[in-house]
Structure formats: C-alpha cells, structure tokens
Chains A and B, each alone.
Chain A
Amino acid sequence: MNGDTTKKSTPYTVPIGPVHPALKEPVMFTFKVEGEVVKSVDFAPGNTHRGIEWMGMRRNPVQIVHLTDRICGICGIVHSLSFARAVEQIAEIEVPQRADYIRTILHELERMQSHILWAGVAAHELGFDTLLFLTWRVREQAMDLIENLTGNRVNYGIIQIGGVRRDISDDQIPLIKQGLDYYRGLLAQMKTVFLDDSTIRMRCRGHGLLSYRDAELLCAIGPTARASGVAMDVRHDYPYCAYGDLDVHPIIPPQEFGGPQGDVYDRIIVRLLEIAQSIDIIQQCLDNMPAGEILWEKKLPKLLLTLKKAQGEAIGRVEAPRGECMHYVRMDGNDSPATWKVKASSYSNLMSWIPMLRGEQLADVPIIVASIDPCMSCTDRVSVIRDGGSPGYLTKEELTRLSVEKTRRIEQCH
C-alpha cells in the first residue's frame, strides 16, 4: 500500500467520523495518508445506532409511522412513505388517488429542499460561504411551502397508513404555483453560479471519480449512481404513488457537459437538473389532481384493528433525494410487526466512498465526502495520529480550512 519508501514521510492515519441523521450511517472512516494523498480508505463503525428497528418491532404501525418521520433529519417523508407503502401492501389497503398525488407533491418538494440544502453544503465545503447563505435563503421558500402544507418544517407528520393526514386546499394551490415560479426564475442563476464558475469546475471536475462498473458493483443509488451513468431511478423504474401516471426520466449528466464521468461535478449537475425535474413533476400533479378522500380509514381504532389482523410481508421503496429508500415489513397478526428492516439511501452509497477517495488529496475529502450527500458534512471530528507522536486533532473547521485554502490557491491562478 505505502509503496513510496524513498521519502521520509510515514503514512499516517486520519480517522473521520461522520454522523448521519439517516438511520444508521454513523460510519467512521480511516484514511491512510501519505503527505496530502489518501492512499487507502477503511470503514470503522460509528456508534450512534439508535436501535430504531428494535423499537419499531415493539410498537404498532401507526406509532412507527411517526417514528419513521424521525429517522432522518432531512428526509421527512421518504421513510414514512416507504413504511406506509409496505404496510398498505400487507393489509391490502387501497390508498385514495388524491392522497397519492399529495404524497407525490410533498415528496418532490422535499427533494427540492434537500438538493438545495446539499448545494449549499457543497459550496460551504469549497469555501464559498456567501453562496451557502444565498442557497439556504432560497431553500426557505420550499420549507415555507412544506410548512404551509403539513404544519411542520422538518418532521412533517403528513403520512398515515392508508393516505395522508392533511389535504391540500384550493387556496393553497396558488401558493404552490407561486413557489414553483420562484424556483423556475432561479434555476438559470443557480446553474450559472454552480456550473460556470471556473474554480468550482477545477475543484470538482475529475475529483471523486466513481466508474460505471464500480457504481454497479458497490450498489450505488440515486444521484451518486446517475452521475456515473447508471440510469437508475425508482420513480422511473418502478411505479408508486402518482409516478405511474407521470413522465419521469432518470437524470444522467447531459452531453453538453461531456456526458457522465462520475465525478463531483457531475453529481452537482444531476442534483441541479433534478430540481428542475421536481418543479415539472409538481406542476403535472397539480394539473391532474384527482378529487376525493385522502384517507382510507379516518378512525384510528378501526385502522389498527385491520393492521393487527394483517399477515404477510412486503417491501416499500421510494426514490429519496439520495436514492432508493427501502423498508421491508413482515406482520404476523400481532400489534407490532415481526420484522422491520430499514435500508436508508446512504446505506447503499457509503461503499462508493472507497474508490472515490483513493488517490485524492486531504483537502478534497470534505467535498468528495459531501458529494454523495450524506446528510451532514461528514468531517465533524478528525484526529490525526502521526507515527510516534501524540494524537493531534484536526477539527472539522481545520479540515474545511484546508479545503478553503485549496480553493483560494486555485482562484489566484487565474
């Protein structure tokens, strides 16, 4: 591994412990570093596993729905939607069409806010803090819309087994349309700021490469896989909610940017284009919104009784902003499910960090690690242990500082 013996530098170890708001993504990375270059990457387990699946196997499905809201700090809907869909399949509950459309609208609003949030984080990792604040300011429009539709900004509490808990009224529809117009007007600007900036291009083009084959073998999903050219999008591949009625294409980096190369830059492109796609999907949903009920059964005791009788197993999967989110549920006629297995999106994406980070500089770690969108910048605590020395600590700020300095150096070159 550490082939270069002519230099005096000893390879030293940099552990990076990310903490994810997703279900169980607190995976710690250990980098073997020679000078500035990452030689090898290794997983080491984190320990913020909260045992949510264990908790769920001791609660009834309606309680679990509200527990799933709290699995992730950004995806307020994907886990509850996946879980609800799995349970609905077991209990053979027919979800009203209107509820399917409301679910889809919120699903896409969430994708927009999540991708915009990510764009801000990426800007911050590169050292463009003004851009971070601008990005997060425009994200507020989506958050306000979500709050208006559900009553909450983060844990929406909108999904219920058999439908949604709140309807979209006629006077809320103009608000949604206003919000969509607001983002339509911003898209061109966002593209310019992120994709035409030569510094961003130099920091991201050709860094954090993930080949098509690696994406396939390491089970990458979502924008991470699509940026490597794998045309995989649950909304397009597997009909659920209102997507069966709509036209959704997996977004692959287009030819005008040189086609998919699987680097950080491509992952920015995919997410920006997906914001535009989400606007389009919400518009389609509003135009074809069916009327009618929003819940299969309003009375909770009756719903719980149905769920208690249900037996069987099912998979609920949705396309989260980060890729496929999947819940496997097995019920055996008791109050609580016999088995509940959650696969969050980052569960599949984490492995792709290994080829991405190999051979990159330490200063590129923050942006590459952030590029799969692991919910938070994964560089919150880093300790550097040099051979024979006492362990020194590299804080998140210092690692970010390295990244910022690299950006400044590049800026000075042109």
Chain B
Amino acid sequence: MNGTPHLTPPQVVDLYKAEFGAGILDARITERGEGAKKTKGYNIWIRLDRKLLKPAIKKLIDIRFPHFAVIAGNDLGDEIELLYIMSVFYGTKFGEYMITFGIRLPKTDLTVPTITDLIPGALLSEREKQEFFGITVTDIPDGRRLFLPDDFPQGVYPWRKDETGIKPEMVRELWAINRPKDRPVPPVPEKPVPEKKPVAEVPAAEGKEKKAGGAAE
C-alpha cells in the first residue's frame, strides 16, 4: 500500500494542481504550532470541482492510503458544501497532514458518488450525510438511516439552515416538561416581583433538545 515517499504539504498541493489543473478551485495550507517548541502541524484544504471528488481521492490513495476521518458539511444557502476530511502519512513523526477535499453541490442537484468502493469505512459518514443534509449518495451499499429514529419525519434535515431544517415546533423546552403551570418562566428573579406575563421566547442558553418523536404537538 505504501506508494510514494513522504512529501511536504506544498508538494502534495503541487501534485494535485499538476493533475487536475483548473479543477482545483482553491488550495490552502494552514499551519499551527503549540507547546514550547511550536512544532508545526499542517492542514491542507483543497476545494475542487464536484466531478473530481473520486479522482482526487483515488490520487490520494496512490500517494499513500489515507485515514478517512469524516465528511463534514456546510449549508451555504443555495449550495451545500461537503468536506471529506482525511489525514495522510500517519506513522511519520510529526509528518501527518490533514487533507480536506471540499465540493459544492447546488441544492437543486444534491447527488454525490459513494466513495465506499475506495474506502469502505466511509459508509457510516455517508449514511449520516444522507439523513442530516438530504443528500443522495449514488450507489451507496446501504442507504438506511443511521442515527435518526425511524419515526423521525421524512424530509426534515437537521443540519440544513433552510425550510427543510428542524422546525421550531419540533424543539421542546426540556425545563418546561411536566412543570407546574403556576410558576414563572426561568430565570426566576430572586425577589418577588409583580405578576408578569410569562415570556414566550426564552434565551438560547436554556436547554433545548430535539424532540425524539418529531411530530408537532
């Protein structure tokens, strides 16, 4: 499995630029040093054309088999950005880099090919993206839900920031459950104050929890 020898982060980026040219929309290298010696750790961020996702991952496997961590996603309004977060060159003293491939999918066409044929361990993360972002992963070996219960409503995607996200009526105030009706809404002031109408909207710092059942009351 060991392909090419150890490379520096700029060399990795150059390899990609040489291979995919204009398909690489953006490539950045961030570094961070901590502790007394400030030994640097490097993260490579590559944003590419959505068609190039699998070739890019294939290329990485040719360089050295990566450790696939997870797929993260951002809801950017009209688009959803998927980030395939991996690390490469593990086992080298301070020589491992995070490498992240970002692709953007317009909300009109949320399909992405599966990468489980290359990295079988990505299955859980792909299933998670299907239920949390409403993305369709084509050719996924197992398309069932992963974390959401079966009675969670279809068409609600918790991580979306548009109308398909969690609806306000699905959120329950945990403190309010089974609470006697004659008490004021927290935070309760220390001194007794004249009767006030309970505030309907509590600050976001109060405990909120997604309703397990999902259906509106």
Contact = CB atoms under 8 A, between A and B. Distances in A.
Contacts of A50: 209-210
A68 B128 CA distance: 20
B147 A218 contact: no
Contact of A45 (B1, B122, B145): B145
B85 A100 contact: no
A217 B74 CA distance: 26
Nearest to A231: B91
Contact of A54 (B87, B149, B158): B158
B177 interface: no
A341 B210 contact: no
B63 interface: no
A47 B96 contact: no
Contacts of A116: none
Interface centre among A230, A231, A240, A288 (most CB of B within 10 A): A240
Interface in B12-51: 30, 32-41, 43, 45
Given A244-B33, A351-B123, A58 B90 contact: no
B168 to A, nearest CB: 12
B137 to A, nearest CB: 16
A242 B69 contact: no
Contact of B70 (A45, A336, A343): A343
Interface string A242-260: 1111000010000000000
Nearest to A338: B74
Nearest to B43: A315
B146 interface: yes
Contacts of B100: 315
Contacts of B204: 58-59, 336
A211 to B, nearest CB: 12
A241 B33 CA distance: 8
Contacts, number: 166
Nearest to A24: B147
B36 A221 contact: no
B166 interface: yes
- Overall SS of chain A's interface: mixed
A348 B91 contact: no
Interface in A324-373: 324, 326, 328, 330, 336, 338-339, 341, 343, 347-348, 350-351
A89 B40 CA distance: 13
B35 A59 contact: no
Contacts of B95: 237
Interface string B75-88: 10000000101010
A236 interface: yes
Contacts of A410: none
A150 B72 CA distance: 32
Nearest to B158: A54
A51 B158 contact: yes
Contacts of A219: 67-69, 119, 121-122
A351 B122 CA distance: 9
Interface string A62-91: 010000000000000000000001000100
Counting chain B CB atoms within 10 Å of each CB, which of A230, A288, A339 scores highest? A339
Interface string A26-63: 11000000000000000111110111011101110001
Contacts of B70: 326, 328, 341, 343, 347-348
